[in-house]
Amino acid sequence: RKEVEQDPGPFNVPEGATVAFNCTYSNSASQSFFWYRQDCRKEPKLLMSVYSSGNEDGRFTAQLNRASQYISLLIRDSKLSDSATYLCVVNIISSGSARQLTFGSGTQLTVLP
Amino acid sequence: DTEVTQTPKHLVMGMTNKKSLKCEQHMGHRAMYWYKQKAKKPPELMFVYSYEKLSINESVPSRFSPECPNSSLLNLHLHALQPEDSALYLCASSQSAQGASSDTQYFGPGTRLTVL
């Protein structure tokens, strides 16, 4: 089983649609969670950190359910510029107390005019 | 300023060449990372430096040799690479390697490497 699993996608949605991405993680000791977006042939960029109480940034809402080990990202009123690959990222314990980020395989979103 | 810079942007090398990738950050971050990313795949961690010491080596072949000359710089020395090593090499940095929410990793634009 992969340590971080995401919706396989791709998602093709019309402009203005609401789209939700889901992600599950296997290591219950994980402590911090992030959504990154990556445009084609560019580096990943932090979209938002995900907090236990849930958090919102404009049209983006992230939720974390520690009991179910589940993370979600909701995008409202999709824009063409939201087209990208969305990466669910979790920190896990590597060796000793060292932690490292583990990336999900990413979900590709295309917003259509 | 949340900028991580990488040079070169593109690199083409033969299997017998020796080359180096460079990464720099001036955010005062004490953890720096090298990742390898193949097309349509997520980044894969290669190395982690914490306070200029190598703390994680993800079983990377010895033809990749990292170096951290100081807290702002990270190099990746390449020697005798194989064509399958062609990929986007990403550098990242964070405040520390402890994994807290504040330890957001910021990525550089990457070096696109082609090995002939």
pLDDT in tens, chain B (116 residues): 569 999 999 999 998 889 999 999 999 999 999 999 999 899 999 999 989 999 888 889 999 999 999 999 999 999 999 999 999 999 999 988 776 666 789 999 999 999 99
Which residue of B55, B101, B108 is in closest CB contact with A49?
B101
> A52-78 pLDDT, tens per residue?
888 999 999 999 999 999 999 999 999
State the amino acid at position B34 in one-letter form.
Answer: W
| Omega before B8 within 30 of 0, i.e. cis | yes
Structural tokens at position A3 = 């340590």
In B25-46, which positions are buried (b, 16+ CB within 10 angstroms) versus exposed (e)?
A: beeebbbbbbbbbeeeebbbbb
Give residue A95's pLDDT band: very low, low, confident or very high (50, 70, 90): low
Contacts of B105 in chain A (CB under 8 A): 46, 101
3-state SS assignment for residue B58: coil
Decide if A43 and B104 are in contact by the 8 Å CB cutoff. no
Please tell me what DSSP assigns to residue B5.
E
Size of interface A-B (CB pairs under 8 A): 57
Average pLDDT over residues A80-108: 84
CA dist., res. B7 & res. A111, Å (int): 33
Decide if B45 and A95 are in contact by the 8 Å CB cutoff. no
Decide if B55 and A98 are in contact by the 8 Å CB cutoff. yes
